[in-house]
A = this chain, B = another copy of it.
Amino acid sequence: MKEHDLVRELAEKNASKIVMLVADGLGGLPLELSGKTELETASTPNLDRLASRGTSGSSVPVLPGITPGSGPGHLGLFGYDPLEFKIGRGALEATGIGFELGPDDVAARGNFCTLDAAGKISDRRAGRIPSEESFAVVEKLQAVKIPGVETFVKPVKEHRFVVVFRGKGLDGRVADTDPQAVGVAPLDPQAADPAAAKTADVAKEFVKQAREILKDEPKANGLVLRGFAAKPALPTYEQLYGLRAAAIAVYPMYKGLARLVGMTLVGKAQSLDEQIAELAKCWNDYDFFFLHFKYTDSTGEDGAFEQKVKRIEELDRAIPKIEALRPDVLIVTGDHSTPSKLKSHSWHPVPTLLAADTCRPDGLTSFSERDCLRGGFGIFPAKHLMLLAMAHAQRFGKYGA
């Protein structure tokens, strides 16, 4: 990624503090043509004031029209091109449950399924097994022992779990064992590259022992493995930007994503107020602070327009508390849009603002999707946001003489 070469070349250290407040799924849509979006509906005096003194823009998470998951959405905000840096399904799943992957790990997503007497899949979701039952079955799988390899099996939800193999010489290039159909047997783990032969053998041994353990389960008597993946090779915030970065998040997925880029997880906050209290506590120990606010996304996913409006107002009320710490750069953005109207992530650009003493005024006096279209950053790729953060923190030297 050519931007990273530039960043490494130009990054300088100083005493500045950068706060990136990510309101997950921040962008929205009006419910009706003549209506307003959630952000436009919300009363946001503090964000509006920030917009007046800062610069706004519309950030495009991946490319126009592309809806990102949380992984690519956050990678973009952190300054990693989400088309170049990919987090394999297994690695993301492990990250999402808070499992910290090491350099010798290969993770896969596991699904319990029901096998018939002939060993063929009769139900791909193991009879929609509830989490409580499934967790008990996962517990039994702790008995699997593979020589030379450490094995971790962790529950996710319902029929889903994660397996992590830890050992020297493992490689993520193993094909899925899920035939994506019923009436056929699960596939054997096969190396998709010669370098992954050992990993495929390990996975085969895991499946063999697991099948023996599960054989009398009424629903979950079989399993398939998908998305084998090692920890992605991402340069850290320290390596790239020279930033000591702290992540203050509530949910495991976002903590995990922050860990993948070398941020330190700080505190055990369970609410935005607690997150800001943690922020104040660790203020002197870090240069960059990633604060993640989940509820603008979850209310959007629920199609709860009014609830999303309220969550945005909650976010707005937190702004003065962050400003009180006098960050040099304060960014408010989202990793993607989650319009209540669509009840899902979407491809629409994300309203974004950056406030710093070095901002050139763009004439905006409020923060909304429509305003951000006319903002000083224009419509820009999310992966460039960190360049702007570094610049406004005056942490970049001049390029060329």
B398 near A361 with CB under 8 A, answer no
As for how many copies of this chain the complex holds, the number is 2
Q: Which of B58, B82, B398 contacts A399 (CB 8 A)?
A: B82
* Residue A373 lies at the interface, judged by CB distance under 8 Å to chain B: yes
A370 x B361 contact (CB < 8 A): yes
Q: Which residue of B lies closest to A61 (CB)?
A: B399
Count A-side interface residues using an 8 Å CB cutoff: 67
A376 within 8 A of B: yes
Report which of B83, B397, B400 forms a contact with A92, defined as CB distance below 8 A: B400
Q: Quick check: which of A69-77, A145-153, A210-218, A306-314 contacts chain B, the rest being far away?
A: A69-77
Q: Are A33 and B361 in contact (CB under 8 A)?
A: yes
Within 8 A of B (CB), among A82-125: 82-83, 86-87, 89, 92-93, 96
Q: State whether A72 touches B399 (Cβ < 8 A).
A: yes
Query: From residue A183, how far is it (CB to closest CB) to chain B in Å?
Result: 23
Residue A396 lies at the interface, judged by CB distance under 8 Å to chain B: yes
In the complex, which of the residues A349, A375, A399 has the most CB atoms of chain B within 10 Å of its own CB atom?
A399
> CB-CB < 8 A to A360: which residues of B?
27, 29-30, 37, 348, 369
Interface hits, A1-34 → B, CB 8 Å:
2-3, 6, 10, 27, 29-30, 33
Contact A384 B65 (CB under 8 A): yes
A219 → chain B, closest Cβ, in Å? 25
Q: Is A283 an interface residue (CB 8 A)?
A: no
A401, CB-defined interface residue at 8 Å: yes
CA separation between A58 and B376, bound complex, in Å?
A: 9
In the complex, the answer to whether A363 meets B358 with C-beta atoms within 8 Å is no
A187 contacts B by Cβ under 8 Å: no
Is A362 part of the binding interface, using a Cβ–Cβ cutoff of 8 Å?
Answer: yes
Tell me the minimal C-beta distance from A39 to chain B in angstroms: 11
**Interface pick from A162-170, A269-277, A385-393:** A385-393
1/0 contact trace for A299-320 toward B, CB 8 Å? Answer: 0000000000000000000000
Contact B399 A64 (CB under 8 A): no
Q: How far is the CA of A224 from the CA of B225 in the complex (A)?
A: 61
CB of A53 within 8 A of chain B? yes
Indicate if the CB atoms of B83 and A377 lie closer than 8 Å. Answer: no
On whether the beta carbons of B65 and A390 are closer than 8 Å, the reply is yes
Contact of A10 with B66 in the complex, beta carbons under 8 Å:
yes
- A400–B37 alpha-carbon span in the complex (Å): 26
B342 touches A398 (CB 8 A): no
A63 at the interface (CB under 8 A from B): yes
Contacts of A66 in B (CB 8 A): 6, 10, 387, 391, 396, 399
Residue A380 CB within 8 A of the other chain = yes
Which listed residue (B62, B370, B388) contacts A64, Cβ 8 A?
A: B388
- CB neighbours (8 Å) of A134 from chain B are none
Which B residues touch A63, using CB under 8 A?
Answer: 3, 6, 384, 387
Residues of B contacting A68 with CB < 8 Å?
398-400
Name A44-72 residues within 8 Å CB distance of B.
52-53, 58, 62-72
Which of A30, A73, A376 has the most chain B CB atoms closer than 10 A to its own CB?
A: A376
Answer whether residue A154 sits at the interface, using C-beta atoms and an 8 A cutoff.
Answer: no
Which residues in window 136-194 of A have CB below 8 A to B?
none
- B65 A401 Cβ-Cβ under 8 A: no
CA distance A86 to B92 in the complex (A): 38
Query: Contacts A65-B384, A391-B66; is A400 near B82 (CB within 8 Å)?
Result: yes
Which residues does chain B contribute within 8 Å of A83, judged by CB atoms?
A: 2, 6
Q: Give every chain B residue within 8 A of A62 (Cβ-Cβ).
A: 6, 399
Min CB distance A328 to B, Å, is 14
Not counting A33-B53, A72-B399, a sample of 12 additional A-B residue pairs whose C-beta atoms are within 8 angstroms of each other reads: A3-B63, A6-B63, A6-B83, A62-B399, A65-B391, A65-B392, A65-B396, A69-B400, A72-B400, A73-B400, A363-B373, A373-B378
